[in-house]
Amino acid sequence: MNLEKAILAVITMNQEKVAGGAPIFVCESKKELEQIAANLEAIMDGIAHALSEELFIIVKH
Amino acid sequence: MNEYTYPIIFGVIIGTLSRVLMLKTDYRQYPTYLHGKIIHVSLGFIASSLGALIIPAIMEKNYTAVTILTVAATQFREVRNMERNTLNEVDDFELVSRGKTYIEGIAISFESRNYLVIITAFIGTLVYILTNPYIAVIAAVICVIVSRVLMSGSTLKDIVDIEYKELYFEGAGLYVDNIYIMNIGLPERQEEIKKYGMGFVLTPKNMNTINTVANLGQRQAILHDVSIALGVFRDSGTPALTPLIKRDLDDGRIGVFVLPQVRDVEKAREVIGAVPVLESAIRLPSQSRTHNKEVHDK
């Protein structure tokens, strides 16, 4: 199966709100969150989307 | 040498010349390379030879010779396939791809130009044999002018109004005017986009053009042409920096988000205005009987 879009990673500051199949990165601060998101975005060739202030996902388009 | 030698040579020369004139290299940069040009001029030569041979063949009562034209049709359909394949192959490696609709448009025009060459050569030879060389030259010039008119379609500025709009973010959402483009999470990416991005809103002038500009192929053609003419601020592996076009569902306006390297609003507006309206994107709902019942019933 060829997926068109997929969530490659979830980055969050609130672990209680997330669960599921994608790798989850838990961060302490907003700064750490953005840093990890930026790095993952570059590594995975995906886009970092913000779902809320404390929840980012990396999506492959 | 016989009485047909000069008319045939005349037809072939006129046909090939008209192909050369049609083969202009412009900002689309296709075909740029000498080899691409040689292929098309040679095919133009073959086409004009075919066109020039028809009249002498008929005059010699050699009617079966005319059937060779069917071979010509197959041959030039092959030209269309060739163009389509080459452009499709190359398209994957463009920073901003052309899109299938644009490629199809280019392929169609390459095929049809060969038919225009056949007609030009045919008319040139016909007039040469029926009258004299001087009138034949005039007829050929008229043919060339007519083919130029036939091959130039309309451009976007004929069908839409183009307006520059500042980009802005609402939370993580990127907007052009009131049209949502995409979600950008990282503040540093948002800064980059604000710095390098430009937004335009294209307002269709009537019912027909709403459907035309909504066509995904037409939209991709706009993005491709802007990126070619003004450069593009992106690289492989930066999918966040992707030029995009989204549509306002309410009224059919489209919001264009581009990342040009040359950030000149006037130039960008001109480039967008000069994007060709793709043949396969044109829709004419105004011709629909049901849609215009009142008009047709009268």
Write down the ipTM of this complex.
Answer: 0.84
Six token digits for residue B177: 């005017």
Determine the structural domain holding residue B145 and report its residue range: 5-152
**Contacts B183 to A, Cβ<8 Å:** 47, 49-50
Residues B139 and B211 reside in one and the same domain:
no
State whether A38 and B188 contact (CB < 8 Å): yes
State whether B186 and A61 contact (CB < 8 Å): no
Q: Which of B185, B236, B242 sits opposite A50 (nearest CB)?
A: B185
Contact status, residue B183 vs residue A37, Cβ threshold 8 Å:
no
**pLDDT 10s digit of each residue in chain B, 298 long?**
788 889 999 999 999 998 888 887 555 556 566 777 888 889 899 999 998 988 888 888 888 887 888 888 888 888 889 889 988 998 888 889 999 999 998 888 888 888 889 999 999 999 999 988 899 999 989 988 888 887 777 889 889 999 999 999 998 899 999 999 999 988 989 999 999 999 999 999 988 889 899 999 999 999 999 998 899 998 888 888 999 999 999 988 999 999 999 889 999 999 999 898 988 888 888 888 887 776 656 5
Q: Does the residue B98 lie in any domain?
A: yes
Contact status, residue B157 vs residue B43, Cβ threshold 8 Å:
no
In the predicted structure, residue A4 carries a pLDDT above the cut 90: no
The pLDDT, as a whole number, for residue B146 is: 87
Q: Does the residue B137 lie in any domain?
A: yes
The pLDDT, as a whole number, for residue B22 is: 83
Sign of CA dihedral B221, B227, B228, B234: negative
Q: How many domains does chain B have?
A: 2
Residue A55 C-alpha, separation from nearest chain B C-alpha, in angstroms: 10
User: Cα separation of A26 and A19, whole Å?
Assistant: 11
**Contacts B172 to A, Cβ<8 Å:** 49-50
The pLDDT, as a whole number, for residue B279 is: 85
User: Cα separation of B175 and B64, whole Å?
Assistant: 65
Q: Does the residue B225 lie in any domain?
A: yes
**Contacts B182 to A, Cβ<8 Å:** 47
User: Cα separation of A57 and A50, whole Å?
Assistant: 7
State whether B183 and A45 contact (CB < 8 Å): no
For residue B276, the 8-state DSSP code is B
Residues B60 and B168 reside in one and the same domain:
no
The pLDDT, as a whole number, for residue B66 is: 79
Mutation pick from B174, B186, B192, B193 vs chain A, by most beta carbons of A within 10 Å, is B186
Residues B181 and B88 reside in one and the same domain:
no
State whether B186 and A42 contact (CB < 8 Å): no
Show which of B152, B180, B195 is a domain's final residue: B152
User: What is the CB neighbour count within 10 angstroms for residue B114?
Assistant: 26
State whether A47 and B185 contact (CB < 8 Å): yes
pLDDT tens by residue, B6-31: 999 999 999 999 888 888 755 555 65
Contact status, residue B84 vs residue B107, Cβ threshold 8 Å:
yes
Residues B137 and B108 reside in one and the same domain:
yes
For residue B147, the 8-state DSSP code is H
Residues B27 and B133 reside in one and the same domain:
yes
Q: In terms of Cα–Cα distance, which of A41, A37, A34, A15 is closest to A26?
A: A15
Mutation pick from A10, A35, A41, A45 vs chain B, by most beta carbons of B within 10 Å, is A41
> Closest-CA residue in chain B for A39?
B186
State whether A37 and B185 contact (CB < 8 Å): yes
Contact status, residue A22 vs residue A7, Cβ threshold 8 Å:
yes
Contact status, residue B7 vs residue B55, Cβ threshold 8 Å:
yes
Show which of B121, B152, B183 is a domain's final residue: B152
Sheet holding A6-12, edge to edge: A24-26, A6-12, A55-60, A47-52
Residues B97 and B167 reside in one and the same domain:
no
User: Cα separation of B133 and B135, whole Å?
Assistant: 6
The pLDDT, as a whole number, for residue B27 is: 54
Contact status, residue B23 vs residue B126, Cβ threshold 8 Å:
no
Show which of B119, B152, B185 is a domain's final residue: B152
Q: Which of A37, A38, A45 sits opposite B239 (nearest CB)?
A: A45
Residues B183 and B267 reside in one and the same domain:
yes
Residues B53 and B88 reside in one and the same domain:
yes
Q: In terms of Cα–Cα distance, which of B19, B12, B183, B224 is closest to B112?
A: B19
User: Cα separation of B119 and B126, whole Å?
Assistant: 10
The pLDDT, as a whole number, for residue B298 is: 53
Q: Looking at chain A from residue 4 to 43, which residues have their Cβ under 8 Å from any Cβ of chain B? A: 34, 37-38, 41-42
Backbone angles phi, psi at A38, to 5 degrees: -65, -45
The per-residue DSSP string of B91-118 comes to HTTSSS---HHHHHHHHHHHHHHHHHHH
Contact status, residue A34 vs residue A50, Cβ threshold 8 Å:
no
> Closest-CA residue in chain A for B174?
A49
Mean pLDDT for chain B overall: 87
User: Cα separation of B82 and B67, whole Å?
Assistant: 24
**Contacts A56 to B, Cβ<8 Å:** 185
Strand partners, B292: none
H or E segment to which residue A42 belongs? helix A30-44
User: Could you tell me how many helices (H) and strands (E) chain A has, helices first?
Assistant: 1, 4
> Closest-CA residue in chain B for A43?
B237
Mutation pick from A49, A58, A59 vs chain B, by most beta carbons of B within 10 Å, is A49
Residues B142 and B163 reside in one and the same domain:
no
Q: How many residues does chain A have?
A: 61
